[in-house]
Amino acid sequence: MARQFVAIGECMVEFAPTLDGTYAVGFAGDTFNTAWYVRQLTERDKLGVTYVSAVGDDDLSRRLTCFVESAGITPAFATIESASPGVYMIFLNNGERSFQYWRSQSAARRLADDLGALEAAAAGDMVYFSGITLAILDETARRRLLSALTDAAGRGAEIVFDPNLRSRLWQSAEDMCAWTTRAASVAAIVLPSFEDEAVHFKDCGPEDTAKRYLECGVRLVVVKNGEGQLVVRSADGDGFQFQPVPVPEVVDTTAAGDSFNAAFLVDYLERGRAREAVRAGCALAAHVIGSRGALVPVSQLDLIACR
């Protein structure tokens, strides 16, 4: 049987401006972006990709589900009566992008309502979630999610967590930091971004970030750092640093971290070697930031570069 990669979170409907002044409808969201890139990098008979979330019963939800299926990803979606997906709109002002969100009532906030369904859906070889997945849930649902993930780990799943710290989604920064630490303690692999961690945890350097997550009982920490050196540390004392190749023209850094995570995890699942996996992650992220948008198609040639 093919191995299974499972991502849990919220995929939103995106309205992005086009050159002729109209808006194009798309679909994106941090954990979904990672699942989408995992699908792009792998063959369906070798790795199944499932996305766990919740949608409503409206047309927008049906379009979202169709998009997920047509991307080759299995939707494990709870259906919430009278609910709708979260939506965001991108505004362009003199080349600068800004975002407005309508997600406070989104169906995805209810993805952990049914513990049984969540446990069944989270049965993968690798199960991936983020700080945004946690942030959109209420406290009871957060506890339910972490309990389902602890059980999945007990059944042999590798739990992967990207803290993706977004303070505006939380009641307070203290709350965010406390839940982030709790979530890391159920994970085997944590993939933080230093810039966010420095702001909220007051880490002085990526080494501090790695050390803090290792202290939660994590086996492997990969600290992304924009164009700077990544720091990789494992619980057995191994570690290294890696300098990404500079990208000559950065067009749009949306999904840099999400795509890095996808290529890193695909390679790590296959070969189990962090050095090669980090190189693959950096290659895909470099490709993604060279184009506009969260979901940048990956050609056969790009694929070779990411291996």
**E strand segments, 94-133:** 96-102, 126-130
HEC string for 22-91: CEEEEEECHHHHHHHHHHHHCCCCCEEEEEEEEECCCHHHHHHHHHHHHCCCEEEEEECCCCCCCEEEEE
CB 106 within 8 A of CB 88: no
Torsion of CA 38, 40, 42, 46, to 10 degrees: 90
CB 200 within 8 A of CB 177: yes
Q: Smallest distance, Å, CB 48 to ligand ADP?
A: 25
Establish whether 258 is a catalytic residue. Answer: yes
Q: Smallest distance, Å, CB 286 to ligand ADP?
A: 5
Q: Smallest distance, Å, CB 118 to ligand ADP?
A: 25
Q: Identify which of residues 153 and 169 has a Cβ nearer to ligand ADP in the complex.
A: 169
Q: Supply 236's token pair.
A: 């057995």
**E strand segments, the chain:** 3-8, 12-17, 23-28, 47-55, 74-79, 87-93, 96-102, 126-130, 158-162, 189-190, 220-223, 230-234, 239-242
Phi and psi, residue 184, nearest 5°: -60, -30
Q: Identify which of residues 118 and 282 has a Cβ nearer to ligand ADP in the complex.
A: 282
Which residue is associated with the tokens 């619980």?
A: 235
Candidates 196, 203, 258, 267; catalytic one: 258
Q: Identify which of residues 256 and 262 has a Cβ nearer to ligand ADP in the complex.
A: 256
Q: Identify which of residues 111 and 289 has a Cβ nearer to ligand ADP in the complex.
A: 289
Residues 6+ apart with CB under 8 A from 167: 173, 176, 200
Q: Is 289 helix (H, G, I), strand (E, B) or coil?
A: helix
Q: Identify which of residues 157 and 184 has a Cβ nearer to ligand ADP in the complex.
A: 184
Q: Which residues bind ligand ADP (CB under 6 A)?
A: 193, 195, 224-227, 230, 244, 246-247, 250, 253, 256-257, 260, 282, 285-286, 289
Q: Smallest distance, Å, CB 79 to ligand ADP?
A: 31
Q: Identify which of residues 63 and 200 has a Cβ nearer to ligand ADP in the complex.
A: 200
Strand order, beta sheet including 96-102: 23-28, 12-17, 87-93, 96-102
Q: Smallest distance, Å, CB 167 to ligand ADP?
A: 14
Q: Smallest distance, Å, CB 8 to ligand ADP?
A: 18
What does the alpha-carbon distance between residue 236 and residue 267 come to, in Å, rounded to a whole number? 20
Residue nearest to ligand ADP (CB): 257
Catalytic residue annotation: 258
